[in-house]
Amino acid sequence: MKTTKRQKDIIDASIELIAEKGIQELTIKNLSKKIGIVESAIYRHFKSKMDILISILSLFRESKEMMNKELSALEADYTEKLKQMLQKRFTFFSSNPAIAAVIFSEELFRNDRRLSDFVYKIMQYNQKVIIDILENGQQIGEFRDDVPAKELAFMITGALRLVVTQWRIADYSFDLQEEGRRLWKTIEILIQK
């Protein structure tokens, strides 16, 4: 079930649409207009609109998994690992703003279990990765252990989400990576023993 060229076109166009004007602009009509075919032709390549969204999310999950493989192969201390991870995520969102729009709109998916499960799982997974790094770092005495890793992770993930969200609301008007670097500086200090 590999994706055909046309399917890739559709996914790309979808991502562009979402990045430009938000997920609400992703309609079959807009999509077909953007590609230059008629609405019904979309259905030659995807069973439903939801399938398109799922494909986008899968794409994200894949790149997420790759990110994490690189991360665990990394020979470095946990501080460095955490830093790399956050940096990678900021870089990713920076060049894929549409994904952020999809990932962070849980509310829109409330009526569709398939989608909301998908989003929720990605969210849980991300958090778990951070918690693991933190706990490992705590155990070997690299991070402070007077606060639970779970709450720390909440603050880190929460801050990341908030920064990205504001970046989108502000129409990408500031440098997300730069803001990410600033955030990291603070996190780094806070988690130190």
Partner DNA sequence: ATAATGTGAGCGAACATTCACACACGTTTT
Partner DNA sequence: AAAACGTGTGTGAATGTTCGCTCACATTAT
Residues that bind DNA (CB under 7 A): 4-6, 24, 26-30, 37-45, 47-50
Query: Measured from the CB atom, is 139 or 186 closer to a second copy?
Result: 186
* Minimum distance from residue 183 beta carbon to a second copy (Å): 6
Query: Measured from the CB atom, is 52 or 187 closer to DNA?
Result: 52
* Minimum distance from residue 32 beta carbon to DNA (Å): 7
> What does 125 bind: DNA, a second copy, none (CB cut-off 5 to 8 Å by kind)?
none
From 41, 29, 35, select the one nearest 13 (Cα to Cα). Answer: 35
* Minimum distance from residue 170 beta carbon to DNA (Å): 24
Query: Measured from the CB atom, is 49 or 144 closer to DNA?
Result: 49
Applying CB under 8 A, which residues contact a second copy? 21-24, 101, 104-108, 110-111, 116, 120, 123, 146-148, 151-152, 154-163, 165-166, 168-169, 182-183, 185-187, 189-190
Query: Measured from the CB atom, is 67 or 123 closer to a second copy?
Result: 123
